[in-house]
Amino acid sequence: MKFNKLWLKEIIDIDIDTVKLAEQLTMAGLEVDSIEPVAPNFYGVVVGEVLEVTPHPNADKLTVCKVNIGATENLDIVCGALNVREKIKVPVAVVGAELPNDFKIKKAKLRGVDSFGMLCSAVELGLAENSDGLLELPSDALVGVDIRKYLKLDDELVEIELTANRGDCLSILGIAREVAAINHIHLAPIKSQSFQVNNSDVFPITITADDGCPHYCGRIIRGVNNNLDTPIWIKEKLRRLGESSISFVVDITNYVMLELGQPLHAFDLSKLDGGIDVRYARKGEKLELLDGTNIELDDASLVIADKNKPVALAGVMGGNNSGMDKETQDIFLESAFFVPKKVTIQSRRFNIHTDSSYRYERGVDYNLQLKALEYATALIIEIAGGEAGAVSEIVSKEHFPESIEILLLRDSIKKILGISIEDKDTNDILLSLGLKPETVADGWMVKVPSWRFDLKIEEDLVEEVARIYGYHRIPEQKIVAELGVDGSAIARIDRRRLYALMEDLGYNEAITYSFIDEKTQALFGNGDLPLPLVNPISSELSVMRTTLWPGLIKVLQYNLKRQKQRARLFEIGLRFLQKDGVVEQNSVIAGVLCGDLYPQQWGMRQKEPADFFDLKNDVEAILKLYSYDNVEFVPKSHQALHPKRSAQIKVQGKPIGFIGELHPLLRQQLNLNEKTSLFEIDLSFLINELKRYAGAPSRFPKVQRDIAIAISKEIPWSQIKQKIVDISGELLQNVYLFDVYCNENIGLDKHSMAIRLVFQSSHRTLVDTEVESLVGQIISVLQKTFNASLRG
């Protein structure tokens, strides 16, 4: 919402600095976005009259004009505008003037002819973005007057970011009411000229759809000169508020809308058949709107129709079939109240948003229609002549908004705001807002005016009192509340431990969008179908991720392009899986390792690309946080992973995620030169299983034996280890692998595993023979079960 200060001052008598005014409005809830002058700085431009126009002797496109600027001598000015002609009045920049952008006017010789100034267009004065010639001023403009004074250009434009509840402030009048309330100024009613009415000239109206239009009024005005140039003072106001001048009557309806907030519409009477009916459209009816859009109506569309056809989309825009043109003389002027919801529905349904629909959607003063109609009629007749007919008016008692009264208790103010406000202050504030408070036992019974339809309950009134009283005058007050134990805070700390761990493990946290592009999603989805957005911003952000990998891979690509050779990234966030018609939104952690294990550094034996096992260690570190000891890595393929280097991660038998090296084909496709490994774990399965038992270490000596076996590569270590554990029983304290290697002597399909066995009893010293016997047993079972052979 924009308003200019001079227009505001026509309605409210106030002398206030604009910055101060903006501050007041902002602190009353009407946030001022910007203050701008309505015209840039310039001086030395006056109203001039072109007396003579003669062709330039040396240039076809130029003319030499004799211009009267009210001085003793007329000026010779060379001009190139096409619309220059004798008798017109235009702005003249005289020698010594300075136009916007530091353009100084000097005496000049143009193609051999002396020129003492410049005739100006609106663009040259910074009043418009474009124009097609000189700015023509009305013929009654006084020659010699400074153009800034003539056009009242020493004015400022204030733009307000209006909240959705304040439809009442979508007018100069509405803003004036707020200013009046804040400054405790009485606001005089807007007056208009009286005019003659021909009571026998009535246009018939009916309302069939009274649930969408509870109030409709209108009148005929005959003999209007629509060909008339709109007076400059109206044009200038429209221009400042961003409306272009269209035709005289339309300009007047816009003017009244901007000043009072009531949208009006004028039909060409000669194009209306019979009378007006406000009704829902019939399926299949069509309407071409004034902007040329063709719409197909349905039975939910609220329209203004005549006997035969829809002539306007109610509250949104008029139809071409009943629009005015230069020849129009007789009009039917409409002023109506449409139900906000109905206008919202159709403005959205047809995606047409106008100044009118914007106001109706937010609500219009339901008692304003007749006043606005009278005001517009007076302006039209006063300026362009014509004869007004009698007003036709229909009010639907059933659907017309009821005026309401709200009980405001003194105690409620204290309870909600935390402070007591003097009764007199409260009463004054309510009055200044145009509310009508009546003192009752414990407070006030408050009558709400028709324009404050946003006030419905007691709390609304408390806010009104508070914002005019001043939020800044409400002192801070310490909260006193019961202590409470917050169970979730403990869980939260563990999530933080996870973030800290990842940081310590050398990972940088990324935050990527929850929606990603469908193609990348398909590369990593492993068959999960993503939830598509109906209205995405772009195809790059069109489906909900079913895994965090695509986001991380994009981050990786971005960084590799920027000369990074290695990266460790992680992200924690929701992924979205469609399961039986429900969207499962679990929190997961995902990580990616790319390039060398360590950053390049001195004293390193060789460059070592990080692989599956480096990542596996990090995954184990994560699971260790949650004290799970039953963790398995089960070989399993995944669409995005190397089929022989990927595993499903299981905790207590439950699958919770995947780990593996990125599939080489995918790596190639994504242009990732370095080896890349990924993991993802569903955190919702990891509840904090804190161990509640700890044993004492054995005091008896350990006995250590190393064995080396040659064994098929196909046999997973987990099986070998399990076998050893099974055979050894409780005497085996630890078993671990300390070397794996292959060479030609062992055979291509085999590798050598060096295994350390550690034996220990909790209650006695072991004797050599029992250890030897156990080791022998282990070797023999490994030989038999896995066809392993003992090495050197």
Partner 1 sequence: MKSSLDNADQILKEAANAVNTAPDIHAIDIIKSTYLGKKGKLTDILRKLGGLSEEERPKVGQEINLIKEKIVNIINERSQILKLAEIEANLQQESIDVTLPSRGQAFGSNHPITKVQRMLEDFFIKMGFTVVEGPEVETEFYNFTALNIPEHHPARTAHDTFYFHDDTILRTQTSSLQIRSMEKMKPPLRIICPGKAFRRDNDATHAPMFHQLEMLMVDESVNFANLKWLISKFIESFFKEKIEYRFRPSYFPFTEPSAEVDVKWKVGDSWRWLELGGCGVVHPHVLETVGIDPKRFRGLAFGFGIDRLAMIYYGIDDIRLLFENDLEFLEQF
Q: Closer CB to partner 1, residue 73 or residue 580?
A: 580
Selected binder of partner 1 within 20, 191, 496, 605 (CB under 8 A) = 496
Residue 224 or 672 having the CB closest to partner 1: 672
Q: Does 492 sit near partner 1 (CB under 8 A)?
A: yes
Among the listed ranges 62-70, 254-262, 416-424, 518-526, the one in contact with partner 1 (CB under 8 A) is 416-424
**Residues found in the chain:** 792
Site for partner 1 in 311-340 (CB under 8 A): 340
C-alpha distances (whole Å) from 740 to each of 455, 736, 782 are 79, 11, 16
How far is residue 632's CA from residue 620's CA, in Å, rounded to a whole number?
10
Tell me how many residues contact partner 1 (CB under 8 A). Answer: 92
Q: Which of 71, 583, 665, 767 binds partner 1 (CB under 8 A)?
A: 583
Nearest approach in angstroms of CB 230 to partner 1 is 31
Would you say 166 or 239 has its CB closer to partner 1?
A: 166
Q: Which of residues 708-727 bind partner 1 (CB under 8 A)?
A: none
Complex with partner 1: residue 26 or 733, whichever CB lies closer: 26
Q: Which is nearer to partner 1, 182 or 260 (CB)?
A: 182
CA-to-CA distance for 778 and 780, rounded, in angstroms?
A: 5
Interface pick for partner 1 out of 267, 366, 444, 507 (rule CB under 8 A): 507
Q: Does 166 bind partner 1 (CB under 8 A)?
A: yes
Nearest to 543, CA basis, from 589, 590, 583: 583
The rounded distance, in Å, linking the Cα atoms of 249 and 255 is: 10
Residue 252: exposed, middle, or buried by beta-carbon count in 10 A (0-12, 13-18, 19+)? buried
Q: Scanning residues 597 to 616, which ones bind partner 1 (CB under 8 A)?
A: 598-599, 601-604
DSSP code string of 318-368: EBGGG---TT---EEEEEEE--HHHHHHHHHHTT---HHHHHHHH---TT-
* Residues of span 211-250 touching partner 1 by CB under 8 A: none
387 binds partner 1 (CB under 8 A): no
129 lies in the site for partner 1, by CB under 8 A? no
Q: Which is nearer to partner 1, 218 or 530 (CB)?
A: 530
Residue number with CB closer to partner 1 (441 or 493): 493
Stretch that binds partner 1, among 128-136, 301-309, 457-465, 673-681 (CB under 8 A): 457-465
Closest CB to partner 1 among residues 28, 145: 28
Q: Which of residues 459-488 bind partner 1 (CB under 8 A)?
A: 459-460, 462-463, 466-467, 471-472, 474-479, 481-484, 486-488
Judged by CB under 8 A, the chain residues 13 through 42 that form the site for partner 1 are 26-29, 31
Q: Residue 548 Cβ, how far from partner 1 at the closest point, in Å?
A: 12
Joined together, the tokens standing for residue 644 give: 């022989």
Query: In angstroms, what is the minimal distance from the CB of 669 to partner 1?
Result: 21
* CA 330/CA 434 separation, integer angstroms: 38
Q: Residue with structure tokens 């994504």?
A: 670
Helix axes 410-417, 458-469, angle to 10 degrees: 70
Which of residues 345 and 746 has its CB atom nearest to partner 1 in the complex?
345
Instruction: List the x/- string, 268-297, binding to partner 1 by CB under 8 A.
Output: ------------------------------
| Cα–Cα distance measured from residue 524 to residue 336, given in angstroms and rounded to the nearest whole number | 58
- Roughly how many angstroms between the first and final C-alpha of the chain, as a whole number? 90
Q: Annotate 756-790 with DSSP letters as a single string.
A: EEEE--SSSPPPHHHHHHHHHHHHHHHHHHH--EE
Query: For 529, which DSSP code?
Result: P
Answer for which of 267, 453, 576, 658 binds partner 1 (CB under 8 A) is: 576
Q: DSSP strand E in 208-263: where?
A: 215-222
Name the residue among 140, 130, 124 with its Cα closest to residue 45: 124
Rank residues 505 and 670 by Cβ distance to partner 1 and give the closer one. 505
| The residue type at 373 | L
| 531 is a contact residue toward partner 1 (CB under 8 A) | yes
Residues 6+ apart with CB under 8 A from 128: 121, 122, 239
Q: Which stretch binds partner 1 (CB under 8 A): 312-320, 426-434, 579-587, 710-718?
A: 579-587
Which span sits near partner 1 by CB under 8 A: 48-56, 74-82, 101-109, 415-423?
415-423
In whole angstroms, give the CA distance from residue 312 to residue 278. Answer: 10
| Segment interacting with partner 1 (CB under 8 A) among 80-88, 128-136, 456-464, 639-647 | 456-464
**Residue 510 makes contact with partner 1 by CB under 8 A:** yes
The residue from 85, 348, 519, 607 that contacts partner 1 (CB under 8 A) is: 348
Which residue, 336 or 544, has its beta carbon nearer to partner 1?
A: 544
* Best CA proximity match to 147, nearest among 129, 128, 125, 123: 125
Q: Is the Cβ of residue 246 or residue 505 nearer to partner 1 in the bound state?
A: 505
Q: Per rule CB under 8 A, is residue 499 in the interface with partner 1?
A: yes
Q: Partners of 268 in the beta sheet?
A: 331
Measured in degrees and rounded to the nearest 5, phi and psi for residue 110 equal: -110, 110
Per CB under 8 A, which of residues 648..677 are in contact with partner 1? none
Give the SS3 label for residue 473: helix
* Residues in region 353-382 near partner 1 by CB under 8 A: 361-362
Distance CA 286, CA 279 (A): 14
Q: How far apart are CA 252 and CA 733, in angstroms?
A: 96
